[in-house]
């Protein structure tokens, strides 16, 4: 009788890759969605900001309440790493604590039934992982850690300095996944445009593009988490030239006011940011995603209004809005000009509405267009609708398309690229007719 494993991955796509590495090590377990029958429960936590930390703790406590007597509860990941001392004291519910250094040793930890926090931050390099969530798409990690010093961010304090994978390791992983039928890849890290800069290579991403383009079977790819000060026009030109990499530009800018960008220690001002964004927008079929933080210490109403005006008018396709979270170990935490929580929430609400309008405008612009889509499966909405996404979009975060018609009776295949006409918009979801004649 095989042991049953219930595993939860919280936080970002980088964390998801680490969760998949753990699943790769535990393939002798049977996966279960039912936490009350699981022999082992693992939560890969997120420790980025308050909301994420609270979600991680609640998830662990809820699973503890639901679990069976003799099961083992493991708390892994960023929150566990960041607060290893406090959690060991405050969460007796947890049997095994581990951080961000032992994902590939999870099987040993379960045998030893002991907590472990290895010094080095784990970086995937050839480990077999169980890709989740898709039959054709996989996230590929470029590096761990970060050398930037953004005022509000605690990630470098528990993920350490930038540590890039080498190109061979990445190419080998992609080749291995292509052999398993995957053909669409999203390259992720904390700061992707700094890829290989820790190895004194200035244009690491351009080298990555060249290398991935040589791999037969890779049909589609995008890079997430570009950082303004290490993103160059020559990189953008190389992305635009690529047959494989989409003009998909995910660059969190966090603010647009010049003084606030300086206070946030972003190392990049308004003028240079605009130059990059304008160039991105000028490229054919470009898709722009960004993030803003509201309520950073010293943010005046004028600075906030400037950011709102910019977000509303620049033409972003997708905007993430974060309320400032006062994270210890960060330089912003030491600042005195804190913004009251009520004001932060009000600003997040205002910018959140602007972000929604920007997304709706971007979606509306797609109506009547012929685009490439991928069908992911049956939609949860209705049995006669199939769920799809535009090929350029990243999975899960950029939206869904309902396929409600096709040009022939031929069956539609899941995980396949089709030409389609965007016909309408229902709420925030597009509808499409697939051309499969
Ligand atoms: S780029 Fe800035 S926000 Fe992102 S992980 Fe690095 S320090 Fe944090």
Give the chain's domains with CATH numbers.
4-112 (3.40.50.12160), 137-364 (3.80.30.20), 370-434 (2.40.50.140)
Question: Is the Cβ atom of 191 under 6 angstroms away from ligand 1?
Answer: yes
- The vertex-260 CA angle with 257 and 265, nearest 5°, equals 125
Measure the CA–CA gap between 256 and 311, rounded to whole angstroms: 9
Residue pLDDT tens, the chain, 437 long: 569 999 999 999 999 999 999 999 999 999 999 999 999 999 999 999 999 999 999 999 999 999 999 999 999 999 999 999 999 999 999 999 999 999 999 999 999 999 999 999 999 998 999 999 999 999 999 999 999 999 999 999 999 999 999 999 999 999 999 999 999 999 999 999 999 999 999 999 999 999 999 999 999 999 999 999 999 999 999 999 999 999 999 999 999 999 999 999 999 999 999 999 999 999 999 999 999 999 999 999 999 999 999 999 999 999 999 999 999 999 999 999 999 999 999 999 999 999 999 999 999 999 999 999 999 999 988 888 999 999 999 999 999 999 999 999 999 999 999 999 999 999 999 999 999 98
Ligand 1 centre to CA of 356 (Å) is 24
What is the sign, positive or negative, of the torsion defined by CA atoms of 343, 344, 349, 355?
positive
**CA 364 to each of CA 153, 282, 393, 428: distance values in angstroms, whole numbers, following the listed order:** 35, 19, 15, 9
- The vertex-330 CA angle with 90 and 82, nearest 5°, equals 30
Ligand 1 centre to CA of 389 (Å) is 28
Ligand 1 centre to CA of 189 (Å) is 10
Looking at the CA of residue 156, tell me the nearest atom of ligand 1: 7
- The answer to whether residues 74 and 95 touch, using CB atoms and an 8 Å cutoff, is yes
Looking at the CA of residue 154, tell me the nearest atom of ligand 1: 8
Measure the CA–CA gap between 94 and 313, rounded to whole angstroms: 48
- In 10 A of CB 131, how many CB atoms? 18
Ligand 1 centre to CA of 303 (Å) is 21
Measure the CA–CA gap between 172 and 407, rounded to whole angstroms: 39
Task: Quote the pTM value.
Answer: 0.97
Q: Are strands 370-378 and 417-426 parallel, antiparallel or unpaired?
A: antiparallel
Q: In terms of Cα–Cα distance, which of 206, 250, 230 is closest to 395?
A: 250
Question: Is the Cβ atom of 150 under 6 angstroms away from ligand 1?
Answer: yes
- In 10 A of CB 183, how many CB atoms? 22
**CA 314 to each of CA 16, 153, 256, 344: distance values in angstroms, whole numbers, following the listed order:** 32, 26, 11, 23
Measure the CA–CA gap between 374 and 286, rounded to whole angstroms: 18
- The answer to whether residues 384 and 412 touch, using CB atoms and an 8 Å cutoff, is no
> H or E element: which one contains 354?
helix 341-364
Ligand 1 centre to CA of 171 (Å) is 25
What is the arrangement of strands in the sheet containing 72-77, beginning at the earlier edge strand? Answer: 30-31, 4-9, 40-45, 72-77, 96-97
Q: In terms of Cα–Cα distance, which of 246, 245, 240 is closest to 211?
A: 245
Q: What is the DSSP string of 179-217?
A: HTT--EEEEE-SSGGGTTGGGT-TTHHHHHHHHHHTSTT
Which pLDDT score is estimated for 382? 83
- The answer to whether residues 153 and 191 touch, using CB atoms and an 8 Å cutoff, is no
Which pLDDT score is estimated for 437? 84
**CA 72 to each of CA 41, 62, 75, 128: distance values in angstroms, whole numbers, following the listed order:** 6, 14, 10, 23
Ligand 1: residue of 52, 141, 156, 162 to mutate (most ligand atoms within 8 A of CB) is: 156
Question: Is the Cβ atom of 146 under 6 angstroms away from ligand 1?
Answer: yes
Q: In terms of Cα–Cα distance, which of 118, 171, 141 is closest to 12?
A: 141
Which pLDDT score is estimated for 2? 63
Q: Are strands 318-323 and 386-390 parallel, antiparallel or unpaired?
A: unpaired
> H or E element: which one contains 52?
helix 50-66
DSSP letter, residue 332: G
Question: Is the Cβ atom of 194 under 6 angstroms away from ligand 1?
Answer: no
């Amino acid at each position: 009788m095989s042991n049953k494993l219930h595993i939860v991955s919280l936080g970002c796509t980088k964390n998801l890759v680490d969760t998949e590495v753990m699943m790769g090590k535990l393939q002798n377990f049977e996966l279960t969605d039912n936490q009350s029958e699981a022999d082992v429960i693992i939560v890969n936590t997120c420790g980025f900001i308050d909301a994420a930390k609270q979600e991680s703790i609640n998830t662990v406590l809820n699973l503890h309440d639901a679990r069976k007597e003799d099961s083992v509860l493991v708390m892994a990941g960023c929150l566990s790493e960041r607060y290893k001392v406090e959690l060991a004291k405050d969460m007796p519910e947890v049997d095994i604590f581990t951080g961000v250094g032992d994902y590939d040793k999870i099987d040993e930890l379960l045998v030893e039934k002991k907590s472990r926090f290895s010094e080095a931050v784990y970086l995937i390099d050839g480990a077999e992982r169980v890709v989740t969530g898709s039959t054709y798409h996989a996230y590929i990690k470029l590096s761990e850690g970060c050398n930037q010093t953004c005022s509000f961010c605690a990630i470098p304090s528990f993920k350490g300095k930038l540590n890039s994978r080498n190109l061979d390791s990445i190419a080998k992983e992609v080749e291995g996944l292509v052999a398993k039928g995957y053909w669409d890849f999203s390259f992720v890290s904390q700061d992707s445009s700094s890829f290989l800069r820790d190895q004194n290579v200035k244009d690491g991403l351009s080298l990555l593009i060249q290398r991935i383009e040589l791999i037969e079977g890779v049909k589609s790819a995008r890079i997430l988490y570009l950082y303004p000060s290490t993103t160059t026009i020559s990189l953008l030109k190389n992305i635009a030239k690529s047959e494989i990499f989409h003009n998909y530009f995910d660059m969190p800018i966090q603010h647009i006011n010049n003084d606030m960008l300086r206070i946030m220690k972003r190392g990049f001002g308004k003028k240079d940011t605009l130059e990059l964004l304008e160039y991105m927008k000028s490229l054919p079929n470009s898709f722009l995603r960004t993030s803003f933080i509201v309520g950073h210490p010293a943010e005046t109403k004028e600075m906030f209004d400037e950011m709102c005006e910019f977000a509303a008018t620049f033409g972003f396709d997708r905007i993430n809005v974060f309320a400032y979270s006062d994270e210890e170990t960060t330089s912003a935490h030491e600042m005195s000009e804190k913004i009251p929580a009520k004001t932060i929430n009000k600003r997040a609400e205002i910018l959140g509405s602007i972000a929604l309008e920007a997304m709706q405008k971007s979606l509306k612009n797609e109506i009547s267009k012929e685009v490439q889509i991928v069908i992911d499966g049956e939609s949860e909405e209705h049995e006669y609708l199939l769920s799809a996404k535009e090929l350029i979009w990243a999975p899960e975060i950029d939206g869904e398309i309902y396929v409600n018609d096709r040009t022939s009776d031929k069956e539609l295949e899941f995980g396949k690229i089709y030409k389609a006409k965007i016909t309408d918009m229902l709420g925030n979801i597009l509808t499409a007719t697939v051309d499969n004649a």
